Amino acid sequence: MKKHVNFLILLLFLGVQVMAQGVKKNTSIRSGELWPDTDGKHINAHGGGVLFHKGKYYWFGEHKTAGRGGNSTLFGVGAYVSDDLYNWKNAGIVLKVEEDASSEIVKGCVIERPKVVYNQKTGKFVMWFHLELKGKGYEAARTGLAVSDSPTGPYTYVKSFRPNAGQWPMNLDPELKHRTVGMEQLKWWTDEWRREVEKGLFIRRDLEQGQMSRDMTVFVDDDGKAYHIHSSEENLTLHIAELTDDYMDFTGKWSVLAPAGHNEAPAIGKRNGKYFMITSGCTGWEPNEARSFVAESIWGPWKPLGNPAVGEGADRTFESQSTYILPVQGKKDAFIFMADRWRPRNPIDGRYVWLPLEFEGDKPVLKWQDEWSLDVFNTKYKKKSAPAAKGKASAK
Ligand code: DGJ
């Protein structure tokens, strides 16, 4: 009997200890694992991006749900707040889908890859995202806009559209606008077709209604100018487009990057006055080999530098796909590569792959790390290259 009482007392003691400790604090980044927020729940902010504002980081992302169908947007865009990049407090759904069936962001539409930037001039937080209209698969290919007075919302939906209607890209010969070779004359994926894509085949097709805009990101340069970078032309070519001074529209100035190169998931950073970009190929939710580019001007030319990932798992970007390059505040040349390990059959269980970026010359380099902390930016990342970690990158 006494034994039982002692055991019960021990259990009670342990229970009180656990309660007193609350949710354990995160002290490192462990890619591919569950990432508990400050309530102990796995973070739900996929295809995300991070804004730094007044000493805090804000992580915005797709709020997914469980089971098949969990990729369509039933709630909206979620946000989390952190001051150390490890521990994130859920700020809830900051852009809510609407009940009204005539709304472009009606419940059941698809909102992907939301990115928020702060406009110094207007004091507004501007959110851009990829929008697919409800029940139309991925054919709408629009960019959507919402705005708020506070980083954690609520964000008010403004509009969606296909960008740059009537505008020809700066880096293609304007004469090509009048070329008469049409879609119907060409067989897809032949060399001739590819050459015509490079000469604006799809841009001409969509010139009047605006260019397609799917996977996207937004980048604010040192001079305050912002750019919307998106997969266009049936995901064949990336478009880089300038935003207006209030970040609420497109100026009509834009250029193409890697025509017919089939790039998705653009993520961009700036280092030593040069722009670098990491993208993926196009294989739906399946991982593939990432690509990297560097340029002296945002308008290009963009030099391809190949797969930034090295070591075991590099051919599938450690089972992930890029979403954002996050500059770590207060540390020079410290960038985190943010990526998603998608779980299309149970999207809410999607994982995050966050890795510190190294550089070899201008080339960004990604090495798998089971677990790491921001201290890496103080020490080994100052050296030219770090020893490769053992690749434990398999999807779970
Ligand atoms: C890959 C994209 O990068 C994702 O954002 C999403 O659009 C899926 N394709 C849909 O298949």
Whole-model pTM over 0.85: yes
Cβ of 265 closer than 6 Å to ligand 1, yes or no, is yes
Cβ of 306 closer than 6 Å to ligand 1, yes or no, is no
Average pLDDT of span 124-134: 98
Ligand 1, residue 110: give the atom nearest the CA.
Answer: 7
Peptide bond into 301 cis (omega under 30): yes
Q: What is the CATH number of the domain that holds 38?
A: 2.115.10.20
The answer to whether the CB of 236 falls within 8 A of the CB of 197 is yes
Residue 218 has pLDDT above 80, yes or no: yes
Q: Say which residues have a Cβ less than 8 Å from residue 284's Cβ, sequence separation at least 6.
A: 344
**Structural domain harbouring 70:** 29-161
User: 90 C-alpha to center of ligand 1: Å?
Assistant: 24
Ligand 1, residue 214: give the atom nearest the CA.
Answer: 7
Query: Does residue 263 lie within any of the structural domains?
Result: no
Residue 13 has pLDDT above 80, yes or no: no
Query: Does residue 92 lie within any of the structural domains?
Result: yes
Query: Does residue 341 lie within any of the structural domains?
Result: no
Residue 385 has pLDDT above 70, yes or no: no
User: 282 C-alpha to center of ligand 1: Å?
Assistant: 8
- For 323, counting Cβ atoms within 10 Å of its Cβ (0-12 exposed, 13-18 middle, 19+ buried), the class is buried
- Our CA angle for 340, 265, 341, nearest 5°, is 15
Q: What was the pLDDT predicted at 184?
A: 86
Percentage of residues in the chain having pLDDT higher than 90: 87
Q: Computed over its alpha carbons, how large is the radius of gyration of the chain? A: 22
Residue 216 has pLDDT above 70, yes or no: yes
Cβ of 284 closer than 6 Å to ligand 1, yes or no, is yes
Average pLDDT of span 46-75: 97
Residue 233 main-chain phi, psi, to 5 deg: 50, 60
Q: What was the pLDDT predicted at 5?
A: 53
Residue of minimum CA distance from atom 1 in ligand 1: 284
Residue 389 has pLDDT above 50, yes or no: no
Query: Does residue 4 lie within any of the structural domains?
Result: no
User: 265 C-alpha to center of ligand 1: Å?
Assistant: 8
Q: What was the pLDDT predicted at 4?
A: 58
Q: What was the pLDDT predicted at 252?
A: 98
Q: Check residues 21 and 103 and name the one with the higher pLDDT.
A: 103
Residue of minimum CA distance from atom 3 in ligand 1: 265
Query: Does residue 121 lie within any of the structural domains?
Result: yes
Q: What was the pLDDT predicted at 58?
A: 99
User: 339 C-alpha to center of ligand 1: Å?
Assistant: 12
Query: Does residue 82 lie within any of the structural domains?
Result: yes
Cβ of 322 closer than 6 Å to ligand 1, yes or no, is no
Cβ of 319 closer than 6 Å to ligand 1, yes or no, is no
Query: Does residue 23 lie within any of the structural domains?
Result: no
- What domain count does the chain have? 1
Query: Does residue 214 lie within any of the structural domains?
Result: no
Percentage of residues in the chain having pLDDT higher than 70: 90
